[in-house]
Amino acid sequence: MSDTLKVAVLVEADYQDLEVWYPLLRLREAGYQAVSVGTGSSPVYKGKYGYSITVDASIERVRASDVRGVVIPGGWAPDKLRMSEAVLAFVRDLNSAGKVVAAICHAGWVLASADIVRGKRVTSFRAIRDDLVHAGALWSDEEVVVDGNLVTSRTPDDLPAFMKATLRLLAEGGS
């Protein structure tokens, strides 16, 4: 699965529907092959509002070298995603390679568990602010925060700014 125009979108049960589908469609519109990647617990995941997605690949079959970046949605999925060591290793590897790591809403939990926010400016849904601060992040209440290769946003309302920043970084090849 190697192609520099591929971008992974992580999914798990109870993902925030808009935070998966808006990025998937925007990435495809921009010419990227957006690949939905699950933890392997199921071939199909339902979002918080009932919209289902069939995954293209399990995280065990995807390496950081296969993609240009990753989008991590919020909802309740990040609580499950962060329990997968394969997901955390994938996110750490992307970050170490300077590839785009974009997280919205509760997805900051994945960044904190992957230990990649120390000293980085980020934002998130306000309920996980303390988790990010305790992980060493410099938290700010803004619609989108870009720090190097990291792109973070707060809520579905921020999706336009989030994807604009994410697509800009992808086009630049990373950070």
Query: Given 105, 107, 114, 117, which residue is catalytic?
Result: 105
134 catalytically annotated? no
Alpha carbon 102 to its chain's center = 5
Nearest-angstrom CA–CA distance, 155 and 124: 7
Q: List residues bridging with 158 in a β-sheet.
A: none
Check if 105 is active-site.
Answer: yes
Distance of CA 40 to the CA centre of its chain: 17
**Which residues, other chains included, contact 54 with Cβ-Cβ below 8 Å and sequence gap of 6+?**
36, 43, 44
Task: Give the active site residue among 106, 120, 129, 154.
Answer: 106
* Residue 83 CB contacts under 8 Å (≥ 6 apart), including other chains: none
Task: Determine the angle formed by the axes of helices 159-172 and 17-29, rounding to 10 degrees.
Answer: 40
Please enumerate in sequence order all residues whose Cβ is within 8 A of that of 8, keeping only pairs 6 or more positions apart, or say none: 35, 36, 37, 62, 66, 67, 69, 70, 71, 90
Residue 127, Cβ neighbours under 10 Å: how many? 10
Active site residues: 105-106
